[in-house]
Amino acid sequence: MNNYQKLLDEYIEFEEETLEKDSREVYTMAEQIKFYTDIMNYLEYGDIKIRDLEKIKSLKDLYYFYMESDGYIVGRFEDTEDFIEAYIKRLEEN
């Protein structure tokens, strides 16, 4: 019985570690999906110029810029517009 309890404790610890790890990965993926969705909603319904749209390299590039930058928010159209303008400005400076 003691060995069973030891094995059960080991299993529970493994399960908790796995779930914790997976939940962090899922949270990161969900955050990225929300970011992509917010960007696509803005690109579809927002006020973006064709020439600016053509400058966007990829969603992944936008996401990397977002992750390396502090202070940018996406979600509301105004915030997303400000973020995309900052991204395009950085591209033009480089």
pLDDT, one tens digit for every residue, the chain (94 residues): 676 777 778 888 888 887 787 778 888 888 888 999 998 988 888 888 888 888 888 888 889 999 888 777 787 888 888 899 999 999 999 8
What the block records as the tokens of 30 is: 């969900």
- Separation between Cα atoms, residue 89 and residue 94, nearest integer Å: 9
Q: Which amino acid is at 29?
A: M
Q: What is the pLDDT of residue 12?
A: 85
Q: What is the pLDDT of residue 89?
A: 93
Only one residue has tokens 């159209």, namely: 77
Delimit the domains of the chain by residue range: 2-93
- Separation between Cα atoms, residue 12 and residue 45, nearest integer Å: 48
CA dihedral 79, 80, 85, 89 (to 10 degrees): 100
- Separation between Cα atoms, residue 93 and residue 80, nearest integer Å: 20
Whole-model pTM?
0.72
Q: What is the pLDDT of residue 73?
A: 79
What the block records as the tokens of 62 is: 């936008």
